[in-house]
Amino acid sequence: MKFSTGVKALDALLEGGIEFGVITHFFGSFGVGKSILAQQLSVTLLKETNLNNKVIFFDTEGSFNINKISKISTRFGLDPQHVLKNILYKRIWSFEEQEVFLKISEDYIKKYNVKLIVIDCLTTHLRSEFNQDVLALRQSNLETHLNRLLDISEKYDVASVITNQVVSGFVGENERSSEKPVGGNIIVKYSKYSIRLVRLKNRRYATLFGVDDLDTNFAPFIIADDGIRDEIVK
Ligand SMILES: Nc1ncnc2c1ncn2[C@@H]1O[C@H](COP(=O)(O)OP(=O)(O)OP(=O)(O)O)[C@@H](O)[C@H]1O
Ligand SMILES: [Mg+2]
């Protein structure tokens, strides 16, 4: 089972949209549109499933914007107040808090019809709290967290959407870009889909990470006042 992102090209890339019961990982550099997409998915989930379902939204950077959610809701024909009522929002101030509230979210899932968990952005606090000297500890914390998230997703058939920043590295022989997700392979391993969001000059597009075919592996999008939209074909 999947639900639409509200963007045709992105739905096509993901063969129908965001899948329940698995982790979907969007990564890309600052300002590419991760947080707006995360907020849009909170709206489309409600539109596509049941208006009385719930979304758990963990916000590590304070990017959640009521005005944005309202505009996106109106675009999809939903009452902004109703949408906001069904987003269980939590601002997250530390990695410890993130882990604790992910644990607690299981109680909410049992109590309410939670169908989507969003973590925007997964690695903010890990990155700032664990420096290069304690990389192994950082990775083991990350793995524990992802394990819990995947476990919850599978157990309750909840879609999990995580966003993530990038680090630059060297460009390998067969690689088109040096941009890699923070946390590297662990996050990719736990995510059924890893999608890189790219801004190239004035264009933006999404592309499946680790898949080569450039012709089909390309979903252009734009950012508008009311969220992420398909590129307008002129
Ligand atoms: N109405 C709009 N029209 C065009 N672009 C917009 C509009 N509103 C916001 N944007 C663009 O959206 C971007 C912000 O998107 P968003 O906050 O989702 O980025 P992000 O990927 O989450 O970044 P970060 O890594 O900093 O969290 C800005 O770069 C801005 O240019
Ligand atoms: Mg953001």
Pocket test for ligand 1, best of 5, 25, 26, 32 (most atoms within 8 A of CB): 32
Residue ranges with CB less than 5 Å from ion ligand 2: 34-35, 63
Pocket test for ligand 1, best of 25, 29, 30, 71 (most atoms within 8 A of CB): 30
Backbone angles phi, psi at 32, to 5 degrees: -80, -20
- pLDDT at residue 215, as a whole number: 81
User: Identity (one letter) of the amino acid at 85?
Assistant: K
DSSP letters for 180-222: EETTTHHHHHH-SEEEEEEEETTEEEEEETT---TTTS-EEEE
Residue 221 near residue 212, CB atoms below 8 Å: no
Q: Give the pLDDT confidence of 191-231 residue by residue, as tens digits.
A: 999 999 999 988 999 999 988 777 889 999 999 999 999 99
Is 72 in a helix, a strand, or coil?
Answer: helix
Q: What's the 30 CA to ligand 2 centre distance in angstroms? A: 7
**Closest approach atom of ligand 1 to CA 36:** 18
Residue nearest to atom 28 of ligand 1 (CA): 31
**99 to each of 4, 74, 96, 111, 162, how far by Cα in Å?**
28, 33, 5, 20, 14
Is the whole-model pTM more than 0.75? yes
Phi/psi of residue 144, nearest 5 degrees:
-60, -45
**pLDDT tens digits along 83-128:** 999 999 999 999 999 999 999 999 999 999 999 999 999 999 999 9
Measured distance CA(228)–CA(223) in Å, rounded: 5
Query: Residue 179 — pLDDT band, cuts 50, 70, 90?
Result: confident
The residue among 159, 69, 148 whose CA lies nearest residue 106 is 148
**Ligand that comes closest to the CA of residue 27:** 1
Query: How many A from CA of 31 to the centre of ligand 2?
Result: 7
Tens digit of each residue's pLDDT (9 = 90 or more) over 68-83? 999 999 999 999 999 9
> In angstroms, what is the span from residue 228 Cα to ligand 1's centroid?
10
Q: How much of the chain exceeds pLDDT 90, in percent?
A: 86
- 33, 12, 220: which is closest to 121 by C-alpha? 33
- pLDDT for 176 equals 58
Share of the chain above pLDDT 70, in %: 95
pLDDT higher at 200 or 158: 158
Instruction: Name all domains of the chain by residue range, CATH numbers in brackets.
Output: 2-227 (3.40.50.300)
Facing residues of 159 across strands?
116
Q: How many helices (H) and strands (E) does the chain have?
A: 8, 13
* Beta partners for residue 205, in sequence order: 198, 220
Q: How confident is the model at residue 184 (pLDDT cuts 50, 70, 90)?
A: confident
